Amino acid sequence: MRNIPLMRGCNSVRPYIIVDRGKPKVLQKHINELTQEIRSFEDFLREGLVEYLDVNEENDCLIALYESLITSETTHLEIEPFTILGVCAGLIPYPHHNQSPRNTYQCAMGKQAIGTIAYNQRNRIDTLMYLLTYPEAPMVKSKTIDLIGFDKVPAGQNAMVAVMSYSGYDIEDALILNKASVDRVYRNQKCILKKYANQSFDRIMGPLIDGNTREVIWKHKVLDQDGICSPGERVTNKQVLLNKSMPVVTMSPIETGNKSEQQQQEFQDVPITYKGPVDSYIENVMISSNPEEAFLIKVLLRQTRRPEIGDKFSSRHGQKG
C-alpha cells in the first residue's frame, strides 16, 4: 500500500475502503476486532484495507456510497457517506432536500447561535457570555448530532412556525414573534485588593448607615455586611457592588509610633459601581487570592434580554430573518 500523507499540496484527503474484484477488503470480522479494541485504525492502513485519496486521485476512482452499489468496476467504498460533511453541515437535518446555498448559509450561521456553552456555565465567570434561557434538544436529529453530543448542549429551541402574509411586517425575511422567547447575557466586574510596599493594604468596608433613618443608604442597598454585593440582589445604575477603599499613602513608609498614630492612616473610597442603563442581577461572587497575597473578587452579573427589532433568527436550513 502506498504511504499517502494526510495533506498533500494543501489538498485534503479522505479514507476509503479498498474494493478488490467487486468485494470490499474490510470484512465483518475486522469491524468486530475494531469494536473490541483488538485492532486500531492504523492497522487498517498498514494491512492495505483502507487508504487515503486526495481530490486528484478521486477523479480516477469509482467510489460506491454503499456496499450494495458495488460493481465490477468499483475501486473504493465509502466508510460512512455522511462523513463527507463537516460538523456544521452535519447538524443540518435532511440537507439533501435543501437548495445548496441554504446549506452554506447554515454552516456560517450555526456558529452564531446562542445556546448552552458548557455544563459549568453557571460556575464560570467570563467577560461577556450570552446564554439561551430555555435551550431545547432538537426534535429532529442527525447522526452527527448524536456523535458529537450536540443535543446535550443545545443551541436553539423547537419553535412552532406559521407561514402567513401580514401587512406591514411581511417584507423580505421579516419574522413576527410572541413575547415568550428570551435570552440572557452575563457580564462580570472584578476588584483586586493589593498589599503595598509600605505594608498598607486595600480594604472592603461595610455598607454606610443613614444617620436619620438608621437604614442602609441607597447606593449600598445591594451590599452585605462584609461590603460585597449579595447574590440574587437587583442592582441599578450607580449602585455600589464592592465598597473598596485604598490608603492615600502607598509608597513612603508609615511612621512608627504608638498604635493610635498607626490607626489614623487615611483611606480614600474607590468603590466598584455598576454602570449600565438596564438593571442587572447578582448571579455569583467569587473570591480568590494569589501567592502575593493580593485578593481578587469577581462579580457575575445577569441581564434578561428580550428579542427586539434587528435581532436575527434562523432555522437550521439557512432560513434567516
pLDDT-wise least confident of 60-64, 114-118, 154-158, 192-196:
192-196
Among 2.40.270.10, 3.40.50.720, 3.40.630.40, 3.40.1010.20, name the CATH number for the domain at 87-182+306-321.
2.40.270.10
**Are the CB atoms for 217 and 223 separated by under 8 Å?**
no
| Domain ranges for the chain | 7-84, 87-182+306-321, 184-303
Q: pLDDT, tens digit, for every residue of 177-211?
A: 666 555 666 677 778 878 777 777 788 888 888 88
In this predicted model, which residue has the larger pLDDT, 191 or 43? 43
Cα separation, 285 vs 300, whole angstroms: 6
Alpha helices in the chain (DSSP H): 28-35, 41-46, 55-58, 87-90, 100-109, 143-148, 259-262
Which residues lie across from 11 on neighbouring strands? Answer: 8
Domain covering 184-303, topology: OB fold (Dihydrolipoamide Acetyltransferase, E2P) (2.40.50)
Among candidates 245, 244, 203, 206, which has minimal Cα distance to 225? 206
**Catalytic residue from among 126, 146, 173, 311:** 173
User: Which tops the pLDDT comparison, 234 or 308?
Assistant: 234
What's the confidence (pLDDT) of residue 76? 93
Q: Known catalytic residue: 173?
A: yes
Pull the grid cell for residue 73. 468496476
User: What does the pLDDT read at residue 25?
Assistant: 92
Across the range 242-270, mean pLDDT stands at 70
Q: What is the arithmetic mean of pLDDT over 266-288?
A: 86
For residue 294 the three cell numbers come to: 493580593
pLDDT at 7 over 90: no
